[in-house]
A and B are shown apart, each in its own frame.
Chain A
């Protein structure tokens, strides 16, 4: 059998045809499939050294055709491999069209065509290609200022200018066409965008688009949640709902303050999507304490009595909202990894270290501005906002442009929408979320997923609670602070410290005057601020439980509520316009002195002394006001009346003494009037405006 020359078209490295890339022939049309199979058979017979005659008899392919097909198969592909059998699919192109014929000078020439002219130009002038790609993709050298999203028209202008510099005339392509090569340039830029979409995303669509390129790369995620409580996510969401906070103090008095926005923190289990913990914070930016509150709510259970009293549970009949409330066997349950964002409150040293010390988990901070790494919790927030809060009349909506906004502050006050009510709506939603089925869990409810995991041992999930010691530990998730011991040995004032304006001490501290001036680390129970423990900062000596003043010994205030009440009370006092009785007394004295000065009668020494005393007191007040500007903002000196004459003279020496009949000081708008009208008394609960009658003694020279 004549086998012809040795077949060398297939390199040894690609001699194994079973490793060649091959298409899915079932995905081809019937005609194409038959054609492909025939071609493939021809190449396989060639590789098997079958004679060309036999190949032609079986497949109908001539020697030239077989060699052409084999060459196509072993052509290098862009990914570094060969095309393999993929090259045999009818209609498949191995490379783009390359124009070889010269571009005609005029479009009027018969049979003229400019196909491939643009690519030919770029091949001849690589600097043009460089110019276009740099402009489109904003590639700049060091020190250069680039331009993002340069319009194609501008790039076209640069393209034309560069061609003119290279000596192109009106008879040369693209100047001899209608659109001057604009269409070709535009198509080339579109191809650039597809060939390197990530670089193009940054320069043409912006940073957010470029960041999105990190999602959906087709690379399998390395670390996934495989059981409940392995990975949990924590985040805070700003709630755009104007509301009135109503806090009841220990006396049952309600205090109300208005807030424009507040935050809710959630802790969510990645595997089941169950909401494990929640906390509502009124801070402008959630602090580390708020983060710890969320964790505590997930781990440390609240008794049913406490939940009955908590207005947040008002809309839930059985008072079971969070997962461990729905499934009490998961009280104190711990997790392996806590995922948080890069907010400073989460990154605070105290927060990270305390959580790791207590729960034993690892803490993971995701990439910067990568919300998709915690997409589960972001979706829950979105749902919570849509279903609950944006529907209220007091909503700020999604921003200033939201057409649903209708005077949210006024609505909050008019409808007296309390934050406790808003929080109860949120808690109602949390309960619904935990017990309702969801498509994200194949139409199971989060609580069902957890129950199932507990029932099946292979799921690897069982009770992993905190050690008993930590469950009962007073330092678990408490608010910690460093305070200074006050007191005085000289004045025999026993040692104590202040925390949020409450005075704490105990027998140990009270008998330790050497601790005055020293620092203590105190641990305040967040739920009951009356419970405080202290240790000496440098030595670690435990001082035990501290006692607040007797009147607060049974206080039910939380640490957070006490702060709010103090802040609210201070703010109200600062804004108060209530009259100051002493100021009223000063004013009345001044008015009396001025009135007697106007009548040019000699003043008694007593009145002069009163005046001097008043003036000194006024000066002292002014100095004090300057020091405490904030707290005394409501105190203001009375403005002088319009027509009131200034005192013409000031006594340099005590005036001659003369017996005068004391007159009741009055205010009058007519300074020339001799009638002194009685003062209309202002609000005077303690009777300080009633000036006693003063009798004077006349001295005769």
Chain B
């Protein structure tokens, strides 16, 4: 890996994030039954406040989706005309893709099967269409099959956040050289002599997120015997 690429990765991870006003967010949540999550997003380089498990799980999965450039969990209102009336609606999330498209994301909860919820989703779909945005409804059922992938990315994101503001240049170089020589395992790179284990694991997470290296994150939990290989080797 070139020095400049290494420095870029290190620079991106070293930016400090703005602190959240946790007390206000927790005390003023509109729905008392909703979980409030505070999450350091490496992709957005920000500390996010996310309401709801479905939204949080989707956000974490997007950290590992290379087609997603960034996402906005608290977007501003989008206005339009529905049935002759001017309306303004706040999308659940706005996802900005690497191909310059934007997706209007909404959550669908299984215990809200009623005409009102269905009508509300249709209004939102119509507004998205007016704004030339793709519309995506995410249900909990669809995410059940991605539970392992979610758990892996949750672990990887915390590894990246843990080493924010710490220089991991050496570990990134060592890891890159190791996988360039051929597939290796997580356990092997973590046991390299003289490396900081936390920084090396953060390096693994970073290169996985940038799709420079790859491993099976969908079917098994990332472990010491997980095989890491260069993306172009796949």
Binding site for B on A (CB under 8 A): 214, 217, 219-220, 222-224, 226-227, 230, 334-337, 342, 344, 347-349, 351-353, 356, 359-370, 373, 457-470
* Cross-chain contact B26 with A347 (CB below 8 angstroms): yes
Question: Contact string, B98-137, partner A, CB cutoff 8 A, digits 1/0?
Answer: 0000000000001100000000000000000000000000
Would you list the 3 A-B pairs with minimal beta carbon distance, nearest first? A460-B221, A360-B162, A360-B161
B1-9, B16-24, B81-89: which lies at the A interface?
Answer: B16-24
Does any Cβ of A come within 8 Å of B70's Cβ?
Answer: no
B66 to chain A minimum Cβ distance, whole angstroms, is 22
Which residues of B from 122 to 166 have beta carbons under 8 Å from A? 140, 143-144, 147-148, 150-152, 154-155, 157-164, 166
* Cross-chain contact A363 with B38 (CB below 8 angstroms): yes
Does any Cβ of A come within 8 Å of B190's Cβ?
Answer: yes
Question: Contact string, B14-54, partner A, CB cutoff 8 A, digits 1/0?
Answer: 00000111110011000011111111100000010000011
Q: A361 contacts which chain B residues (CB < 8 A)? A: 158, 161
* Cross-chain contact A226 with B147 (CB below 8 angstroms): yes
Q: Knowing A460-B223, A462-B187 touch, does A360 contact B163 (C-beta < 8 A)?
A: yes
* Cross-chain contact A222 with B140 (CB below 8 angstroms): yes
Q: Knowing A347-B27, A362-B154 touch, does A466 contact B32 (C-beta < 8 A)?
A: no
Q: Knowing A336-B158, A467-B198 touch, does A352 contact B221 (C-beta < 8 A)?
A: no
* Cross-chain contact A349 with B159 (CB below 8 angstroms): no
* Cross-chain contact B37 with A363 (CB below 8 angstroms): yes
* Cross-chain contact B159 with A230 (CB below 8 angstroms): no
Q: A356 contacts which chain B residues (CB < 8 A)? A: 38, 40, 47, 161
B149 to chain A minimum Cβ distance, whole angstroms, is 11
A230 to B220, CA, bound (A): 15
* Cross-chain contact A458 with B223 (CB below 8 angstroms): yes
* Cross-chain contact B154 with A363 (CB below 8 angstroms): no
* Cross-chain contact A362 with B33 (CB below 8 angstroms): no
13 further A-B contacts with Cβ under 8 Å, apart from A223-B53, A337-B154, are: A336-B154, A344-B23, A356-B161, A360-B164, A361-B161, A362-B37, A362-B157, A365-B37, A367-B33, A457-B225, A460-B152, A460-B220, A462-B224
Most chain-A Cβ atoms within 10 A of its Cβ — which of B144, B187, B198, B225?
B198
- For A360, give the chain B residue with the smallest CB separation: B162
* Cross-chain contact B151 with A226 (CB below 8 angstroms): yes
A361 to B38, CA, bound (A): 9
- For A464, give the chain B residue with the smallest CB separation: B201
Does any Cβ of A come within 8 Å of B208's Cβ?
Answer: no
Question: Contact string, B191-204, partner A, CB cutoff 8 A, digits 1/0?
Answer: 00000111101000
A-B contact count (CB 8 A): 153
- For A343, give the chain B residue with the smallest CB separation: B26
Q: Knowing A217-B111, A360-B158, A362-B40 touch, does A464 contact B198 (C-beta < 8 A)?
A: yes
Most chain-B Cβ atoms within 10 A of its Cβ — which of A224, A337, A344?
A337
* Cross-chain contact A363 with B225 (CB below 8 angstroms): no
A607 to B222, CA, bound (A): 93
Most chain-B Cβ atoms within 10 A of its Cβ — which of A214, A365, A459?
A365
A286 to chain B minimum Cβ distance, whole angstroms, is 15
B160 to chain A minimum Cβ distance, whole angstroms, is 7
Q: B32 contacts which chain A residues (CB < 8 A)? A: 367-369
Does any Cβ of A come within 8 Å of B178's Cβ?
Answer: no
Q: B174 contacts which chain A residues (CB < 8 A)? A: none
Q: Can you offer 25 A-B residue contacts whose CB atoms are under 8 A? A: A222-B57, A227-B155, A334-B162, A336-B155, A336-B158, A347-B22, A349-B21, A353-B20, A353-B47, A356-B40, A360-B160, A361-B158, A362-B38, A362-B40, A362-B56, A362-B157, A364-B36, A365-B37, A370-B33, A460-B220, A460-B222, A462-B186, A465-B198, A466-B162, A466-B198
A346 to chain B minimum Cβ distance, whole angstroms, is 8
Binding site for A on B (CB under 8 A): 19-23, 26-27, 32-40, 47, 53-54, 56-57, 110-111, 140, 143-144, 147-148, 150-152, 154-155, 157-164, 166, 186-187, 190, 196-199, 201, 220-226
A367 to B34, CA, bound (A): 5
A357 to chain B minimum Cβ distance, whole angstroms, is 8
Q: B157 contacts which chain A residues (CB < 8 A)? A: 336, 362
B186 to chain A minimum Cβ distance, whole angstroms, is 8
Q: Knowing A220-B144, A467-B199 touch, does A352 contact B158 (C-beta < 8 A)?
A: no
Q: A220 contacts which chain B residues (CB < 8 A)? A: 140, 144
Checking A366, A368, A458 against B221 with a beta-carbon cut-off of 8 angstroms, the contacting residue is A458
Checking A223, A458, A469 against B225 with a beta-carbon cut-off of 8 angstroms, the contacting residue is A458
Q: B143 contacts which chain A residues (CB < 8 A)? A: 222
User: Interface on chain A toward B: helix, strand, loop, or mixed SS?
Assistant: loop
- For B32, give the chain A residue with the smallest CB separation: A368
A461 to B222, CA, bound (A): 8
Q: B20 contacts which chain A residues (CB < 8 A)? A: 349, 352-353
A467 to B160, CA, bound (A): 11
- For B164, give the chain A residue with the smallest CB separation: A360
Q: A222 contacts which chain B residues (CB < 8 A)? A: 53-54, 57, 140, 143-144, 147
Q: A464 contacts which chain B residues (CB < 8 A)? A: 155, 159, 197-198, 201
Q: B150 contacts which chain A residues (CB < 8 A)? A: 223
A467 to B35, CA, bound (A): 30
A368 to B35, CA, bound (A): 9
A458 to B26, CA, bound (A): 36
Most chain-B Cβ atoms within 10 A of its Cβ — which of A220, A459, A467, A468?
A467
Q: A369 contacts which chain B residues (CB < 8 A)? A: 32
- For B162, give the chain A residue with the smallest CB separation: A360
Q: B160 contacts which chain A residues (CB < 8 A)? A: 360
A373 to B37, CA, bound (A): 14
A399 to B228, CA, bound (A): 58
Q: B54 contacts which chain A residues (CB < 8 A)? A: 222
Q: B21 contacts which chain A residues (CB < 8 A)? A: 349
A469 to B164, CA, bound (A): 12
Q: Knowing A352-B22, A352-B38, A367-B34 touch, does A467 contact B154 (C-beta < 8 A)?
A: no
Q: Knowing A363-B22, A460-B220 touch, does A227 contact B162 (C-beta < 8 A)?
A: no
* Cross-chain contact B162 with A457 (CB below 8 angstroms): no
* Cross-chain contact A227 with B187 (CB below 8 angstroms): no
* Cross-chain contact B26 with A230 (CB below 8 angstroms): no
Q: B39 contacts which chain A residues (CB < 8 A)? A: 362
- For A467, give the chain B residue with the smallest CB separation: B198
A392 to chain B minimum Cβ distance, whole angstroms, is 36
* Cross-chain contact A469 with B166 (CB below 8 angstroms): yes
- For A367, give the chain B residue with the smallest CB separation: B33
- For B31, give the chain A residue with the smallest CB separation: A367
A366 to B164, CA, bound (A): 27
A222 to B197, CA, bound (A): 31
Q: Knowing A352-B20, A467-B199 touch, does A457 contact B154 (C-beta < 8 A)?
A: no
A222 to B47, CA, bound (A): 23
- For A362, give the chain B residue with the smallest CB separation: B39
A314 to chain B minimum Cβ distance, whole angstroms, is 35
B184 to chain A minimum Cβ distance, whole angstroms, is 14
A396 to B73, CA, bound (A): 47
Q: A223 contacts which chain B residues (CB < 8 A)? A: 53, 56-57, 150
Q: A365 contacts which chain B residues (CB < 8 A)? A: 26, 35-37
Q: A335 contacts which chain B residues (CB < 8 A)? A: 158
Q: B226 contacts which chain A residues (CB < 8 A)? A: 457
B161 to chain A minimum Cβ distance, whole angstroms, is 4
B111 to chain A minimum Cβ distance, whole angstroms, is 7
* Cross-chain contact B223 with A461 (CB below 8 angstroms): yes
